[in-house]
Amino acid sequence: MSRIGKLPINLPAGVTVTVKDNVVTVKGAKGQMTQTVNPDITVDMKDGVVTVSRPSDEKNHRALHGLYRSLINNMVIGVSTGYKKELELVGVGFRCSNVGQVLELSLGYSHNIFFSLPAEVKVETKSERNKNPLIILESSDKELIGLVCAKIRSLRKPEPYKGKGIKFVGEVIRRKSGKSAGAK
Protein backbone atom coordinates (compact mmCIF):
# COMPACT_ATOMS: atom_id res chain seq x y z
CA MET A 1 0.00 0.00 0.00
CA SER A 2 1.19 3.50 -0.79
CA ARG A 3 2.10 5.38 2.38
CA ILE A 4 0.89 8.65 0.91
CA GLY A 5 -2.04 7.25 -1.09
CA LYS A 6 -3.69 5.46 1.82
CA LEU A 7 -3.86 8.58 4.03
CA PRO A 8 -7.37 10.07 4.21
CA ILE A 9 -7.93 13.74 3.36
CA ASN A 10 -9.90 15.54 6.08
CA LEU A 11 -11.87 18.48 4.73
CA PRO A 12 -11.74 21.76 6.67
CA ALA A 13 -14.93 23.75 7.29
CA GLY A 14 -16.24 25.49 4.18
CA VAL A 15 -14.61 23.13 1.66
CA THR A 16 -16.72 20.84 -0.53
CA VAL A 17 -15.51 18.07 -2.83
CA THR A 18 -17.60 16.57 -5.64
CA VAL A 19 -16.60 13.65 -7.86
CA LYS A 20 -18.34 13.17 -11.21
CA ASP A 21 -17.11 11.28 -14.30
CA ASN A 22 -13.47 11.06 -13.10
CA VAL A 23 -13.36 14.82 -12.44
CA VAL A 24 -12.76 15.99 -8.86
CA THR A 25 -14.00 19.52 -8.09
CA VAL A 26 -12.94 21.27 -4.90
CA LYS A 27 -14.69 24.49 -3.81
CA GLY A 28 -13.67 26.73 -0.94
CA ALA A 29 -13.24 30.29 0.27
CA LYS A 30 -10.29 31.00 -2.07
CA GLY A 31 -11.94 29.65 -5.23
CA GLN A 32 -12.66 26.47 -7.15
CA MET A 33 -10.26 23.93 -8.69
CA THR A 34 -10.78 20.82 -10.82
CA GLN A 35 -8.59 17.79 -11.51
CA THR A 36 -9.20 14.95 -13.96
CA VAL A 37 -8.44 11.57 -12.37
CA ASN A 38 -7.34 8.40 -14.19
CA PRO A 39 -10.36 6.06 -14.62
CA ASP A 40 -8.51 3.25 -12.78
CA ILE A 41 -8.27 5.29 -9.57
CA THR A 42 -11.41 5.69 -7.45
CA VAL A 43 -12.08 8.73 -5.26
CA ASP A 44 -14.68 8.34 -2.49
CA MET A 45 -16.23 11.11 -0.39
CA LYS A 46 -17.83 10.14 2.96
CA ASP A 47 -18.53 12.24 6.07
CA GLY A 48 -16.06 15.02 5.24
CA VAL A 49 -13.22 12.58 4.45
CA VAL A 50 -11.87 11.89 0.96
CA THR A 51 -10.17 8.55 0.29
CA VAL A 52 -8.30 7.48 -2.84
CA SER A 53 -8.01 3.79 -3.74
CA ARG A 54 -6.52 1.69 -6.55
CA PRO A 55 -7.64 -1.60 -8.13
CA SER A 56 -4.34 -3.55 -8.05
CA ASP A 57 -0.67 -3.44 -7.03
CA GLU A 58 0.68 -2.80 -10.53
CA LYS A 59 3.52 -0.32 -10.65
CA ASN A 60 1.47 2.20 -12.63
CA HIS A 61 -1.50 1.97 -10.25
CA ARG A 62 0.76 2.44 -7.22
CA ALA A 63 2.30 5.56 -8.77
CA LEU A 64 -1.06 7.07 -9.69
CA HIS A 65 -2.49 6.30 -6.22
CA GLY A 66 -0.05 8.57 -4.38
CA LEU A 67 -0.06 11.17 -7.17
CA TYR A 68 -3.80 11.80 -7.18
CA ARG A 69 -4.03 11.78 -3.38
CA SER A 70 -1.34 14.50 -3.26
CA LEU A 71 -2.99 16.54 -6.02
CA ILE A 72 -6.39 16.45 -4.31
CA ASN A 73 -4.82 17.31 -0.94
CA ASN A 74 -2.99 20.28 -2.52
CA MET A 75 -6.30 21.50 -4.00
CA VAL A 76 -8.03 21.24 -0.59
CA ILE A 77 -5.24 23.22 1.11
CA GLY A 78 -5.19 25.73 -1.76
CA VAL A 79 -8.90 26.60 -1.66
CA SER A 80 -8.97 26.78 2.14
CA THR A 81 -5.73 28.59 3.12
CA GLY A 82 -3.83 29.16 -0.13
CA TYR A 83 -0.11 29.14 -0.86
CA LYS A 84 2.40 31.94 -0.38
CA LYS A 85 5.97 32.18 -1.72
CA GLU A 86 8.50 34.94 -1.12
CA LEU A 87 11.41 35.68 -3.43
CA GLU A 88 14.33 37.91 -2.45
CA LEU A 89 16.51 39.93 -4.86
CA VAL A 90 20.13 39.91 -3.67
CA GLY A 91 22.47 42.29 -5.46
CA VAL A 92 23.46 45.94 -5.72
CA GLY A 93 20.92 47.86 -7.79
CA PHE A 94 18.44 44.98 -8.07
CA ARG A 95 14.91 46.40 -7.91
CA CYS A 96 11.36 45.18 -8.44
CA SER A 97 7.96 46.83 -8.76
CA ASN A 98 4.56 45.80 -10.01
CA VAL A 99 1.70 47.49 -11.80
CA GLY A 100 -1.30 45.18 -11.62
CA GLN A 101 -0.22 41.76 -12.90
CA VAL A 102 2.98 43.00 -14.57
CA LEU A 103 6.20 42.64 -12.60
CA GLU A 104 9.07 44.97 -13.54
CA LEU A 105 12.52 43.66 -12.60
CA SER A 106 15.84 45.47 -12.75
CA LEU A 107 18.46 42.70 -12.42
CA GLY A 108 21.69 44.27 -13.63
CA TYR A 109 21.04 43.68 -17.32
CA SER A 110 21.09 46.51 -19.87
CA HIS A 111 17.29 46.61 -19.83
CA ASN A 112 14.44 46.06 -17.39
CA ILE A 113 12.48 42.81 -17.58
CA PHE A 114 8.67 42.96 -17.68
CA PHE A 115 7.13 39.70 -16.47
CA SER A 116 3.39 39.18 -16.98
CA LEU A 117 1.75 37.04 -14.27
CA PRO A 118 -1.37 34.86 -14.60
CA ALA A 119 -4.62 36.22 -13.17
CA GLU A 120 -4.74 33.46 -10.50
CA VAL A 121 -1.52 34.72 -8.87
CA LYS A 122 -1.57 37.80 -6.66
CA VAL A 123 1.70 39.74 -6.50
CA GLU A 124 3.07 42.26 -4.03
CA THR A 125 6.51 43.87 -3.98
CA LYS A 126 8.33 45.37 -1.00
CA SER A 127 11.37 47.63 -1.15
CA GLU A 128 12.70 48.92 2.15
CA ARG A 129 15.86 50.89 2.73
CA ASN A 130 18.92 48.76 3.61
CA LYS A 131 16.97 45.54 2.91
CA ASN A 132 16.76 43.33 -0.15
CA PRO A 133 13.64 43.82 -2.32
CA LEU A 134 10.97 41.14 -1.89
CA ILE A 135 8.44 39.64 -4.31
CA ILE A 136 5.47 38.04 -2.50
CA LEU A 137 3.28 35.70 -4.57
CA GLU A 138 -0.03 34.21 -3.39
CA SER A 139 -2.30 31.70 -5.13
CA SER A 140 -4.61 28.78 -4.46
CA ASP A 141 -2.88 26.62 -7.12
CA LYS A 142 0.36 25.10 -5.79
CA GLU A 143 1.54 23.94 -9.21
CA LEU A 144 1.00 27.33 -10.84
CA ILE A 145 2.70 29.34 -8.08
CA GLY A 146 5.67 26.98 -8.16
CA LEU A 147 5.97 27.35 -11.93
CA VAL A 148 5.80 31.16 -11.74
CA CYS A 149 8.44 31.24 -8.97
CA ALA A 150 10.74 29.00 -10.99
CA LYS A 151 10.35 31.25 -14.06
CA ILE A 152 11.12 34.41 -12.06
CA ARG A 153 14.10 32.73 -10.36
CA SER A 154 15.48 31.58 -13.73
CA LEU A 155 15.82 35.22 -14.86
CA ARG A 156 18.86 35.58 -12.55
CA LYS A 157 19.75 32.44 -10.59
CA PRO A 158 21.85 32.92 -7.44
CA GLU A 159 25.52 32.48 -8.26
CA PRO A 160 27.82 30.63 -5.83
CA TYR A 161 30.64 33.21 -5.47
CA LYS A 162 28.88 36.37 -4.28
CA GLY A 163 25.36 34.98 -3.80
CA LYS A 164 23.79 37.54 -6.15
CA GLY A 165 20.51 36.70 -7.84
CA ILE A 166 16.89 35.85 -7.10
CA LYS A 167 16.39 33.34 -4.29
CA PHE A 168 13.61 32.13 -2.03
CA VAL A 169 13.45 33.68 1.43
CA GLY A 170 15.23 31.27 3.77
CA GLU A 171 17.02 29.43 0.94
CA VAL A 172 20.66 28.69 1.67
CA ILE A 173 22.99 29.17 -1.28
CA ARG A 174 26.04 26.90 -1.34
CA ARG A 175 28.96 29.30 -1.54
CA LYS A 176 32.35 28.71 -3.17
CA SER A 177 35.58 30.41 -2.26
CA GLY A 178 37.18 32.30 -5.12
CA LYS A 179 40.45 31.57 -6.89
CA SER A 180 42.44 33.52 -4.30
CA ALA A 181 41.53 31.07 -1.52
CA GLY A 182 42.80 28.00 -3.38
CA ALA A 183 46.23 29.22 -4.58
CA LYS A 184 49.12 29.73 -2.11
Domain annotation for the chain: domains and CATH numbers? 9-80 (3.90.930.12), 83-168 (3.90.930.12)
Q: How far apart are CA 109 and CA 184, in angstroms?
A: 35
- In the chain, which residues have pLDDT < 50? none
Q: CA torsion sign, 56 to 58 to 62 to 68?
A: negative
Please tell me the pTM assigned to this model. Answer: 0.88
To the nearest 10 degrees (0 to 180), the angle between helices 59-80 and 142-154 is: 90
In angstroms, what CA-CA distances link 136 with 28, 34, 74, 80? 22, 25, 20, 19
pLDDT at 1: 55
If you average pLDDT over every residue of the chain, what do you get? 92
pLDDT at 141: 94
pLDDT at 184: 59
